[in-house]
């Protein structure tokens, strides 16, 4: 007796594990089975295809990077011979601008701080501008790079070039110890406002170290509340009190710190406006702010600029600069308002 289709033939339907045609590893596919692969299936860390350093990529692993490895480190990009070639091909303010854009933000800040300190005289406004507007983390990175690049601690360089309470203000700022919490304690804000009043307007002479301690250590949101409380309490803006109580670099330094805390984009808009107004241009300041803020708060700065000066930043840069230098600055600006 026979039945059609019976017995089952090799290769019959449906495919069975172990059925036709016999395969190494058979069906269904098993880890490590067909097709034979270095490292087997599924892929394993450091499996197929074999890679120097294996998978997943590790810092310092594949592909081999020269110098500094992966992820890119400050100084690794751009290649230093490219920087050299550009430096010899370009000149003037355009070269300064391009060189600035080839640095990391912290490298550029360290470079600017060093330029402000070295040589005869000091660019106090540059020191204050950088140190009062960067975050703690940014300031720590600037300190690290400064030490590596210029073989000196930033604090020591500042100490050697400044004096008195202005020096103490800069050193406090350069330590990057500002409270960065977002919460505001109104009773503490009132207390600080009172302490500032007692250290200045309500005292014969001035206790500068009190101003220093509060303005350099408290958080920015907290200080904005302190300034409001101060205004309510003594009917005068804190900036006006600083101008009445202090003088010289200390006065302009403290005022800059207050302006930066009140409204950072407004502060930079004013710095830009001052850099361009009147005859001549402070190109170093213009370059520094356009490069360092272009990816941070340029849109806000542009708004403050047109609001306070009645012309767009774009228009003023166009009128004050020329050539490739102008074109690149306008790119950083982004547009007219
Ligand atoms: Ca006083």
How close is the Cα of 191 to the center of ligand 1, in Å? 18
Cα-to-centroid distance, 203 and ligand 1 (Å): 4
Q: Tens-of-pLDDT digits for all 337 residues of the chain?
A: 555 556 556 555 555 555 555 555 555 556 555 555 555 555 555 555 555 555 555 555 544 444 445 555 555 678 889 999 999 999 999 999 999 999 999 999 999 999 999 978 899 999 999 999 999 999 999 999 999 999 999 999 999 999 999 999 999 999 999 999 999 999 999 999 999 999 999 999 999 999 999 999 999 999 999 999 999 999 999 999 999 999 999 999 999 999 999 999 999 999 999 999 988 999 999 999 999 999 999 999 999 999 999 999 999 999 999 999 999 999 999 999 9
**Ligand 1 centroid from CA 197, angstroms:** 9
Task: Determine the distance separating the centroid of ligand 1 and the alpha carbon of 188, expressed in angstroms.
Answer: 22
- Distance from Cα 208 to the centre of ligand 1, integer Å: 10
Query: Is CATH 1.10.220.10 the classification given to domain 264-272+296-337?
Result: yes
CATH code for the domain defined by 186-262 = 1.10.220.10
Ligand 1 center to residue 239 CA distance, Å?
14
In the prediction, which pLDDT does 226 show? 98
What is the pLDDT, as a whole number, of residue 304?
Answer: 98
pLDDT of 67 reads 47
> So what's the pLDDT on residue 243?
98
**What's the pLDDT at 75?**
58
Residue 234 CA, ligand 1 centroid: distance in Å? 13
Q: How far is the CA of 198 from the centre of ligand 1 (A)?
A: 8
Q: Show the 3-state SS of the chain.
A: CCCCCCCCCCCCCCCCCCCCCCCCCCCCCCCCCCCCCCCCCCCCCCCCCCCCCCCCCCCCCCCCCCCCCCCCCECCECCHHHHHHHHHHCCHHHHHHHHHHCCCHHHHHHHHHHHHHCCCCCCHHHHHHHHHHCCHHHHHHHHHHHHHHHCCCHHHHHHHHCCHHHHHHHHHHHCCCCCCCCCCCHHHHHHHHHHHHHHCCCCCCCCHHHHHHHHHHCCHHHHHHHHHHHHHHHCCCHHHHHHHHCCHHHHHHHHHHHHHHHCHHHHHHHHHHHHHCCCCCCHHHHHHHHHHHCCCCHHHHHHHHHHHHCCCHHHHHHHHCCHHHHHHHHHHHCCCC
Ligand 1 centroid distance, CA of 250 (Å): 15
CA of 217 to the centre of ligand 1 (A): 22
Is CATH 1.10.1740.10 correct for 82-174? no
- 240 CA from centroid of ligand 1 (Å): 12
Interval between CA 168 and ligand 1 midpoint (Å)? 19
C-alpha of residue 201 to centroid of ligand 1, in Å: 4
The pLDDT score that the predictor gives to residue 64 is 46
Q: What was the pLDDT predicted at 11?
A: 56
Cα 249 to ligand 1 centroid, rounded to whole Å: 18
Distance 329 CA to ligand 1 centre (A): 44
Location of each CATH 1.10.220.10 domain in the chain: 82-174, 186-262, 264-272+296-337
- Compute the distance from residue 215 Cα to the ligand 1 centre, in Å: 17
Residue 270 CA to ligand 1 center (angstroms) comes to 28
């Amino acid at each position: 007796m026979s039945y059609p289709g019976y017995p089952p033939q090799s290769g019959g339907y449906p495919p069975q594990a172990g059925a036709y045609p016999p395969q190494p590893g058979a069906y269904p596919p098993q880890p490590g089975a067909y097709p034979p692969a270095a490292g087997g299936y599924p892929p394993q860390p450091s499996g197929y295809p074999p890679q120097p350093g294996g998978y997943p990529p590790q810092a310092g692993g594949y592909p081999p990077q020269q110098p500094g490895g992966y992820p890119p480190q400050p100084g690794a990009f751009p290649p230093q011979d490219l920087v050299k070639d550009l430096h010899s091909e370009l000149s003037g303010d355009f070269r300064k601008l391009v060189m600035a854009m080839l640095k990391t933000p912290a490298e550029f800040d360290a470079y600017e701080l060093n330029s402000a300190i070295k040589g005869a005289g000091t660019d106090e406004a540059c020191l204050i501008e950088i140190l009062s507007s960067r975050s703690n983390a940014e300031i720590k990175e600037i300190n690290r790079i400064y030490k590596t690049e210029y073989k000196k601690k930033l604090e020591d360089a500042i100490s050697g070039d400044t004096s008195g309470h202005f020096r103490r203000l800069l050193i406090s700022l350069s330590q990057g110890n500002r409270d960065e919490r977002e919460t505001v304690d109104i009773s503490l804000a009132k207390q600080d406002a009172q302490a500032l009043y007692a250290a200045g307007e309500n005292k014969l002479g001035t206790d500068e170290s009190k101003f220093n301690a509060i303005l350099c250590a408290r958080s920015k949101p907290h200080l904005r509340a302190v300034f409001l409380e101060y205004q309510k309490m003594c009917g005068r803006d804190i900036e006006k009190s600083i101008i009445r109580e202090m003088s010289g670099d200390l006065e302009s330094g403290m005022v800059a710190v207050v302006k930066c805390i009140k409204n950072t984009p407004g502060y930079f808009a004013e710095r830009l406006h001052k850099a361009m107004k009147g005859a001549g241009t402070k190109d170093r300041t213009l370059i520094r702010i356009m490069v360092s803020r272009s990816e941070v708060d340029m849109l806000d700065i542009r708004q403050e600029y047109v609001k306070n000066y009645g012309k767009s930043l774009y228009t003023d840069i166009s009128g004050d600069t020329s050539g490739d230098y102008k074109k690149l600055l306008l790119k950083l600006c982004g547009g007219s308002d």
